[in-house]
Amino acid sequence: MKAWQARLLYFVVLNAAVQYVTSLEEELSDSIFGGNFLDPLKDLFGHKDDSNQTVAKFSLRKPSHPDDDLCYIVPGKPDSLAACTFNSTSKTFLVIHGWTLSGMFESWVAKLVSALYEREQTANVIVVDWLPSAQNHYVVAAQNTKAVGQEIARFIDWIEETTNMPLENIHLIGYSLGAHVAGFAGSHATNKVGRITGLDPAGPDFEGEHAHRRLSPDDARFVDVLHTFTRGSLGLSIGIQQPVGHVDIYPNGGSFQPGCNLRGALEKIANLGIFAITDAVKCEHERSVHPFIDSLLNEQEAARAYRCGSSDMFNRGMCLSCRKGRCNRVGYGISKVRKARNVQMYTKTRASMPFRVYHYQLKIHFSSKVNRSEMEPSLTVSLYGTKGEAENLELKLKEKIATNRTHSFLLVTEKDIGDLLMLKFKWEEANGWSASNMLKMVSSWWSGDSDSANMEVHKIRIRAGETQQKIVFCVKDSEAHSLTHEVTFVKCKDAWRTSPKRTAKRVTLENH
């Protein structure tokens, strides 16, 4: 696909998909998209914003009315600060929405306002309304982000000058295009604000751009970012994929989020056309907002993210250490780490709030006296702890199992099962009628042997990500077990770091 074709596809999808279509918005969409759905794209690249100037309004919302704009602070009019009961000694949050087709606030705005007041009762929560500039073709709305950011910067300067408010108390929270608006606001303010949180900053027109043309770590004293839709099924990146903050967190790899039903969305697209992608895009892209809300409402259950070189390494269970700042909380309570280099972190989540899951790293050494070819068995584990159990959890293979080698796995549970007491491990031969599997089956039948004959597991080492507890499990019964039966492991008497000279029970994985 040529560059201009990819660019056009970006905007076709964005103009058709990003907004969630409620029953009221469907009527609005009919008026906007009446006739051929490509009508809005006729002058996509040459369209100009009809407004003479970019306008942003600043609504100080109240805890009792989080979805109502009852009082506006007007820059240059100090009386409006008193009228809106602005508290210059409290934290101030500026919530900045993204691109819109409907010209209305999305439902997440009120939810975020309410959650902020739930956590910080005396705060000022200001919703920045730049809807007139955001309700344009995506290209135009993206071009408007700088001017809107500059206007917010003037507002911040005026607040600082009028109230002597320390800018450390100002926290900008921007979603999609609003994240880049926040970046421009921070970079153009006379003094640096305390924090900017980018919630899946928009990708098109910003991916790969220089730092001064997008959200970047230079825009605030601390910039944290959540990425939830960095690579779609169509090869698009609705949210920006590159790291743009001091700490960038990629829940579920920053791509497809649990509960967003991508398979169903693709089926709808095949049957109904491009508009069917609406729900999928909204779910993936807007998901970034909800873990942040979750972190405000469930402070004690905040999700944890782990520093890692890549999503693939994280999914192999190689990055669950919290040593030297290698892990952090997700969302509002994040530890403000400022390093010379960007920190990229990963986490898994549930499909709904609360999003926290419990991560485990399993290290299993498979040994054999017979040199075996690489294998692709089905592996399952059941965990038993002081608070409950999680049974029949699949160990996802990221590579084939090789003999005399240690393999690392990532395992997650949706509930807290407490301190681990015991686990059960099960190996099943790969099923399927592929040529390689058929050849192995014939070979096993002829030799009376199987892929895993004489395979041995001495120990299973586990690190619990949330508690950082390290446990070594040894086989409970040293006698051989059938591969079709679960093998039970209990805590070893020795510690995590076991001397190789010490002899432990081992299980031999053989067919009988």
DSSP assignment, residue 62? B
Instruction: Tell me the C-alpha distance between 146 and 158, whole Å.
Output: 18
Bridge partners, residue 126, by sequence: 60, 94
285 is catalytic: yes
User: Which residue reads 């395992």 in tokens?
Assistant: 411
79 catalytic residue (yes or no): no
Q: How far apart are CA 459 and CA 274, in angstroms?
A: 51
Residue 214, annotated as binding a ligand: yes
Give me the catalytic one of 114, 176, 187, 408: 176
By the 8 A CB rule, do 511 and 482 touch? yes
49 is in an annotated binding site: no
248, 306 in Cβ contact below 8 A? Answer: no
Number of H helices, E strands in the chain: 12, 20
Q: Which residues of 440-473 are buried (b: 16+ CB within 10 A; e: fewer)?
A: beeebeeeeebbbbbbbbbbbbbbbbbeeeebbb
- The answer to whether residues 160 and 154 touch, using CB atoms and an 8 Å cutoff, is no
* Whether the Cβ atoms of residue 143 and residue 214 lie closer than 8 Å to each other: no
Give yes or no: 436 in active site: no
How much of the chain is in helix, strand and coil states, percent to nearest 5? 30, 25, 45
Tell me which DSSP letter residue 323 carries.
Answer: G
Q: Which residues on neighbouring strands pair with residue 250, listed in sequence order?
A: 346
| Residue 504: both structure tokens together | 């432990």
* Cβ–Cβ < 8 Å for 381, 407: no
Of 294, 328, 301, the C-alpha closest to 222 is 328
Residue 65 DSSP class: B
**Distances from the Cα of 455 to the Cαs of 20, 313, 486, in angstroms?**
53, 26, 15
What angle, 0 to 180 degrees and rounded to 10, lies between the N-to-C axes of helices 107-119 and 289-297? Answer: 30
Residue 188 DSSP code: H
Spatial separation of the C-alpha atoms in residues 503 and 499, rounded to whole Å:
9
Distance of CA 308 to the CA centre of its chain: 14
Helices 262-272, 278-286: inter-axial angle, 10-degree rounding: 150
Tokens at residue 416, please? 């807290």
CB 203 within 8 A of CB 281: no
**Local structure of residue 439 (DSSP, 8 states):** H
Three-state DSSP class for 468? coil
Binding-site residues from annotation for Ca(2+): 214, 219
Question: So which residues are the catalytic ones?
Answer: 176, 200, 285
Residue set of the binding site: 214, 219
